[in-house]
Chains A and B, each alone.
Chain A
Amino acid sequence: MVPSEYYLVLSAAVFCIGLFGVLTRRNALVFLMSVELMLNAANINLVAFSVQNGNLTGQVFSLFTMALAAAEVAVGIGIILVLYRNFNDVDVTTATTMRW
Chain B
Amino acid sequence: MAVAPYETLAFALFAVITVGSSLGVVLVRDVWHSALLLGIALLSVAVHYVMRQAAFVATMQVLVYVGGVLILITFAVMLTRDSSGEEAVA
Question: Is the CB–CB distance between B11 and A37 below 8 Å?
Answer: no
Chain A interface, DSSP helix/strand/loop, else mixed: helix
Question: Is the CB–CB distance between A6 and B15 below 8 Å?
Answer: yes
Residues of B within 8 A of A (CB): 1, 3, 7-8, 11, 15, 18-19, 22-23, 25-26, 31, 34-35, 38, 41-42, 45, 48-49, 51-54, 56-57, 60-61, 64-65, 68-69, 72-73, 75-77, 79-84, 86, 89
Number of interface residues of A (CB under 8 A): 48
Question: Is the CB–CB distance between B65 and A10 below 8 Å?
Answer: no
Residues of A within 8 A of B (CB): 1-3, 6-7, 10, 13-14, 17-18, 20-21, 24-27, 29-30, 32-34, 36-37, 40, 43-44, 47-48, 50-51, 59, 62-63, 66-67, 69-70, 73-74, 77, 80-81, 84, 88-91, 94
